[in-house]
Amino acid sequence: MPIRVLDPRLFAEGEPAQMAPPLAKLDGAVIGLLDNAKLGTARFYDYLEEMLRTRHGVREVIRRRKPDASRPVPAEMLGELSAADAIVSAVGD
């Protein structure tokens, strides 16, 4: 079943957003973990990073924490995360 992404803007501009294709494998991949600065996220990412490394052979994990949960990711931080093959962005409370 395809995923339908709705655009909340009154008038859509540009091309609609599309999902990135899945990675063929995690072994040897670089994964970015973007922490939204809420209490539970770091603990969840500790567990996720360990699982990605030990069970799936992830080569490197790039972890960054937003300064505030309600603000967008700073451009510099996005630049650092762009080195990743895939990024996980999670909310933790």
pLDDT tens-digit readout, 35-50: 998 888 889 999 999 9
**What pTM was estimated for this model as a whole?**
0.78
- Encode pLDDT of 53-63 as tens digits: 999 999 999 99
In a domain, 79, yes or no: yes
- Encode pLDDT of 23-32 as tens digits: 999 999 999 9
Please give the pLDDT value at position 60: 98
Please give the pLDDT value at position 1: 80
In a domain, 21, yes or no: no
Distance of CA 62 to the CA centre of its chain: 10
Joined tokens for residue 11: 């008038």
pLDDT at 90 over 80: no
Q: Which of 61, 67, 80, 60 is nearest to 35 (CA)?
A: 67
Q: Which domain holds residue 81?
A: 30-90
pLDDT at 8 over 90: no
In a domain, 3, yes or no: no
In a domain, 57, yes or no: yes
